[in-house]
Amino acid sequence: MLRKSKLVSLALIAGVTSMGLGMVTPARAADPVTITIWTFGDVIEPALVKDYKALHPEVTLQIKKSDLDPLNGTNMVTACTAGNGPDIAAVEVSYSGYWRSYPRCFTDLRTIKNSDGKSAKDIAGDYLPWRWAQGVGYDDSVIGIPTDVGGLEVAYRTDLFKKAGLPTDRTKVSALWPTWDKFIATGKQYMKSVSAADKKSGVGFMDSAGTIYSAVLNQGTTKYYLNDGTDTGKLVYATNPQVKKAWDTTITALNAGIGTRISQFTADWNVGMTKGTFAAMLAPAWMMDYIKSQAPDTAGKWDIASMPGGGGNQGGTQLTIPASAKNKQAAWDFISWYLAPAQQLKVFKTYGLFPSTPSLYTDPALTGFSDPFFNNAPVGKIYSAGILKLKPIFEGKLNRAIDQAMGAGLGRVASKKQTAAQSWAQVLSDLKKVTG
């Protein structure tokens, strides 16, 4: 009995004390808040998280990182169905077509204002239009704000080009391939200089000819769907000339034998990068860091030339606030700060991820950016020129599934399991099952 009453009085004292304290401290600033973030890869950079904590000591960022982005997507479906998700979720571009048909799973960022009184409407002009469009729902609601942009150019080995009797200067190299046909022709010329023994051991002009497919596809304005204002879009993959062009160009490259048979992001690929198994690769801006870490011995031997056909993009992410988020205000404050030009500049300087805010493309930090690893190429200028050439491209609901079927089709041709015609026919029949 005695014990119980003691506890009660202790609780009373505690309560009174905390009430008293509450009156003294300014209420708003001290409200501690925890923002939960679901992300993957390097979307949320530690150095900037530290900066934000210094600015907002009351905010705790709880970051949950998935290794595989497909699993991240799986969690998002579950979160939306159950109405129990994080405050911020990173969505990869290949999922953007899917999520654009389900805007109800997200907070419409036009309806929420940050501490500067800005909503998504007010900051839209800061971002590349084609990149911004990847975060807009079918009903025009804004569901995600773009992080970096994976501008695509050609990384090539000057030492290997020299050995093959090709020019090594980046302007001359870029002049070799204004078109994809010329690019493939250059590859053929390179292969002529490769000895039979090297050919047998798997040496090629570029790492994976299959990567040409999405590069060509993204240079158009339409992919698999036409935007007809509905939630899914209208399927046009079978008739869109841009799809056929991407397919045919890749088949030509495969048949020309200019690629090694290595797939990207495999063990063989990493080894090949060091060993000089291939002399060129289509490299998004973020790939430069990857090459540096995987093939440090090749420093100074690389250079960057521009893409055939003009510009390209690979990858990218949007930061979203799920509809079920508990701390929407704090989440929006963080996102609008984290993805603002000033912070994107810091991410670029620290981690080499290319900003999606074109106002930075004239910033001396970018225009003057060169890298000794890449033979002092002005990579900042080269990449921003390519990025500005791109136009908005509509991402439809089952983009990823269609991409997968196309990729498998090209794989069957590459491994000589089927002819190009057989494989295309199977792609179409497979896709009937997927989209039917």
Partner 1 sequence: MSAVLETGTSKERGVSKRPLNPWKPAKQAKAPKPISRGIGSLNGKWGYLFIAPFFVMFLIFGLAPIVYSTYIAFFNWDPLNPGPQIFNGLDNFTNLLTDDRFWTALWNTLDIWAMSTFPQMAISIGLAAILRSKFLKGATFWRTILLIPNITSVIAIAIVFGQLFGRDYGMVNMVLGWFGIPHVDFIEGTTSSHIAIATMITWRWAGYNALIFLASMLAIPDELYESASLDGATGWQQFIYVTLPQLKNTITFVLIVGTIGGLQVFAEPLTLGGSMDGGSSRQFSTLTLFLYEQAFVNNKWGYAAAVGILITVIVLIVSLINFFITKKLAGEGSE
Asked if 77 touches partner 1 (CB under 8 A), the answer is yes
* Rounded distance between C-alpha atoms, residue 183 and residue 186, angstroms: 5
| Binding span for partner 1 by CB under 8 A among 28-36, 74-82, 160-168, 303-311 | 74-82
- Taking CB under 8 A as the binding criterion, the range among 40-48, 137-145, 257-265, 333-341 that sits at the site for partner 1 is 257-265
The yes or no reply on residue 411 touching partner 1 (CB under 8 A) is yes
What is the Cα–Cα distance from 329 to 32, expressed in whole angstroms? 13
Q: Could you tell me the smallest distance in angstroms from the CB atom of residue 291 to partner 1?
A: 17
Tokens of residue 269, six digits: 């690929």
Q: 371 has which bridge partners?
A: 377
Does 267 engage in binding with partner 1 (CB under 8 A)?
yes
- Find, among 159, 157, 284, 165, the residue nearest to 218 by Cα: 284
Among candidate residues 316, 332, 317, 366, the one with its CA nearest the CA of residue 346? 366
Count of CB atoms situated within 10 Å of the CB of 21: 10
Task: Determine if 349 is a binding residue for partner 1 (CB under 8 A).
Answer: no
| Residue 86 in the binding site for partner 1 (CB under 8 A) | no
The answer to the question of residue 294 lying near partner 1 (CB under 8 A) is no
Q: Pick from 163, 261, 326, 389 the residue near partner 1 by CB under 8 A.
A: 261
Q: Does position 433 bind partner 1 by CB under 8 A? A: yes
Longest dimension (CA), the chain: 95
- Interaction of residue 434 with partner 1, rule CB under 8 A: yes
Encoding tokens for residue 134? 């990847």
| Cα–Cα separations (whole angstroms), residue 428 to 320, 336, 402 | 34, 42, 10
Stretch that binds partner 1, among 32-40, 270-278, 287-295, 300-308 (CB under 8 A): 270-278
Both structure tokens of 194 = 């490769």
407 in contact with partner 1 (CB under 8 A): yes
Query: Judged by CB under 8 A, how many residues of this single chain contact partner 1?
Result: 43
Give the span between the Cα atoms of 243 and 217, in whole angstroms.
6
* 199 touching partner 1, by CB under 8 A: no
Cα 381 from chain centroid (whole Å): 20
Instruction: Report the residue number, 81 or 115, with the smaller CB distance to partner 1.
Output: 81
Residue selected from 266, 359, 376, 422 as contacting partner 1 according to rule CB under 8 A: 266
Question: Would you count residue 104 as binding partner 1 (CB under 8 A)?
Answer: yes
Amino acid identity, position 362: T
* Angstrom distance (rounded) from CA 249 to CA 184: 9
DSSP state of 306: P
Answer for the pair 354, 371: CB distance below 8 angstroms, yes or no.
Answer: no
Please report whether residue 276 would count as binding partner 1 according to CB under 8 A: no
Pick the closer one to partner 1 by CB: 360 or 431: 431
65: part of which helix (H) or strand (E)? strand 59-66
Which one of 108-116, 130-138, 278-286, 405-413 is the stretch in contact with partner 1 (CB under 8 A)? 405-413
Closest to partner 1 by CB, 365 or 434 = 434
Question: Helical H runs in 276-327?
Answer: 287-294
Binding partner 1 (rule: CB under 8 A), the pick from 17, 25, 62, 74 is 74
Amino acid at 261: R
Contact (CB, 8 A) for 318 and 144? yes
Is 409 a binding residue for partner 1 by CB under 8 A? The answer is yes
Q: Which is nearer to partner 1, 16 or 434 (CB)?
A: 434
Closest separation between CB of residue 434 and partner 1, Å?
5
**Interacting residue with partner 1 among 80, 160, 173, 281 (CB under 8 A):** 80
Is 294 exposed, middle or buried, given 0-12, 13-18 or 19+ CB atoms closer than 10 A? middle
Query: What is the contact surface with partner 1 in residues (CB under 8 A)?
Result: 67, 70, 73-74, 77, 80-81, 98, 102, 104-105, 201-202, 260-263, 265-268, 271-272, 277, 397-398, 400-401, 404-405, 407-412, 414-415, 417-418, 430, 433-434
